[in-house]
């Protein structure tokens, strides 16, 4: 079976304070063989990128309204009249607040939704067939 990959390079802003931020190149990735997840590789000053995996549904919802709990919170807002999406990430290694341009993030998410429409993820993973086999025993 052919898998679809939807990627995009995007410059995010790491927010350090109300007055200070700096650009962080990122690669957004989505694969139809992992249909519930989106992956973001942040290219910070370390040799290896910092990788985070999010629920695709969380990121889609976060474009429109505040959502998330725990390690990842996502919400839309405006900065200087431009629509942006903020992502608050926390891990044992620290916390980060990242800002993404809403239109570019939404356009990439739309491509993932065309590749794998919402509600069709389980079919791609063959979960229905596996569940039927399990329950038949």
Phi, psi of 42 (to 5 degrees): -95, 125
pTM for the whole structure: 0.84
pLDDT at 120: 85
The residue among 46, 45, 55, 41 whose CA lies nearest residue 8 is 41
* Structural domains of the chain sorted by starting position, each given as residue range(s) with its CATH number in brackets: 5-136 (2.30.31.20)
Give the tens place of pLDDT for each residue, 58-116.
Answer: 999 999 999 998 899 999 999 989 999 999 999 888 899 999 999 999 999 999 999 99
Q: pLDDT tens across 110-134, in order?
A: 999 999 998 888 776 655 555 566 6
Q: Which of 126, 121, 16 is nearest to 60 (CA)?
A: 121
pLDDT at 24: 94
């Amino acid at each position: 079976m052919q898998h679809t990959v939807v990627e995009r390079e995007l410059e995010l802003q790491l927010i350090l304070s109300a007055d200070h931020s700096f650009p962080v190149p990122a690669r957004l990735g989505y694969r139809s063989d992992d249909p519930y997840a989106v992956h973001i590789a942040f290219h910070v000053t370390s040799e290896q990128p910092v990788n985070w995996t999010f629920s695709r549904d969380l990121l889609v919802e976060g474009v429109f309204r505040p959502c998330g709990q725990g390690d990842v919170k996502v919400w839309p807002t405006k900065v200087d009249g431009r629509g942006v999406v903020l992502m608050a990430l926390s891990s044992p290694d620290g916390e980060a607040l990242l800002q993404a341009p809403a239109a570019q993030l939404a356009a990439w998410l739309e491509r993932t939704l065309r590749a794998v429409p919402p509600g069709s993820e389980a079919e791609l993973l063959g979960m229905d067939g596996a569940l039927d086999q399990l329950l038949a025993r």
